[in-house]
Structure 1
Amino acid sequence: MCRMARPRKPLLSRELIVETASALVDAEGLDAVSTRRLAAELGVSGPSLYNHFRSKDEILEAVADSVSAQVDLSMFAAEDGRDWRTALHDWAHSYRSALAAHPHLVPVLAQGPGRRPAGLRLADAVFGAMVRAGWPPGHATRIGALMRYFITGSALGSFARGFVDDATAYNPADYPHLGQAHLLAEHRKQVDEGAFESGLRALLDGLTLQYEELKHE
């Protein structure tokens, strides 16, 4: 009789380590990741991880970069045809969606791209598109910064979830204007996404005024 070949364990790779670490971060937060925990999850010895990454921090950097790689940058391509304002609007929504899917990684991403390739491609795409649209380099740099502040800030937490769903917590004698605050959590998506869109439009309106002023200087 022919013996059935025993299934082989999947070969350890950078991609598998990043995927496993990402799942841990999403489920339990940044503190859940350690080389010992990852080795146990992957069914390998701890030292084998060092064939691919030099440290836990390097693994987390790769996980963060994998999130940046999920952000759509197609709107910044020269051949795309979207004007700078529309491109920023569409990109901001794609960026926020990627961050919202991995909220525990937002503090890492908020620090900036560092040496992360996908993060640097993102920064390069935004800056290049703004300069190509006629923004002076200094302004283009500030636009990239303020967009990152706004998007990462919006993804750090939920305004709606910051209020408990207990009406008795909002005594009218103490908080006369919070009579409906206990309903916010129930409408979290509508509140949080609506606030993001309102803020984004206000930000872009302000930039549009600056852009027109620059054209007439």
Structure 2
Amino acid sequence: MTWEVLSFIGTVAFAISGTIIAMEEEYDILGVYILGIITAFGGGAIRNLLIGVPVSTLWDQSSYFITALLSITIVFVFPTILSKHWDRWGNFSDAIGLSAFAIQGAMYAVELNHPISAVIVSAALTGCGGGIVRDVLAGRKPLVFRKEIYAVWAIIAGMALGSGVLSQAWQLYTLFAIITILRVLSYTYNWHLPNKKWVPKT
């Protein structure tokens, strides 16, 4: 039940982030709904394709789809009222979603007895894939690759689960708390990975 609650929070956060970007790009209502849904479920769909889980399992998550649709509708109808609350709680909700989705994605791969490389990829795609697809469809450079430390935390979750040392429920919840805290610290203190621009010689 706890994981379901965390997944619902993540679904809401990801759906809202897709909706906000769609509205910033002045998409029509159809585009808003499509981008919101893709942000919430796109990572899971790509993960399923890569690790051998039937993509059709997504259609068994009707409660999550309803939650995402309601979230998108509320933001679209009441953008001004919700903007102040999203500025305060949006990043925290997104951190919860990243952590919960990354761990769940890694657990899918572990249950299928995939190697640690597949577990890491599954965690990263589940936690970050929807956001990457969202930014590409919105004509933006994916934020997870350039602006903030984001995908790294999903990769760490995948490494921890893929190593096989975590199996107890309390260990998974501890990992969830650690990944969430790291994500919160990274955006609070504006942590960045090293980067360098390629400048060709003339």
TM range (shorter): 0.3 to 0.5
> TM-score of the superposition, structure 1-length normalised?
0.36
Whose Rg is larger? Answer: 1
Greater relative contact order, per chain length (Cα 8 Å cut-off, separation 6+): 2
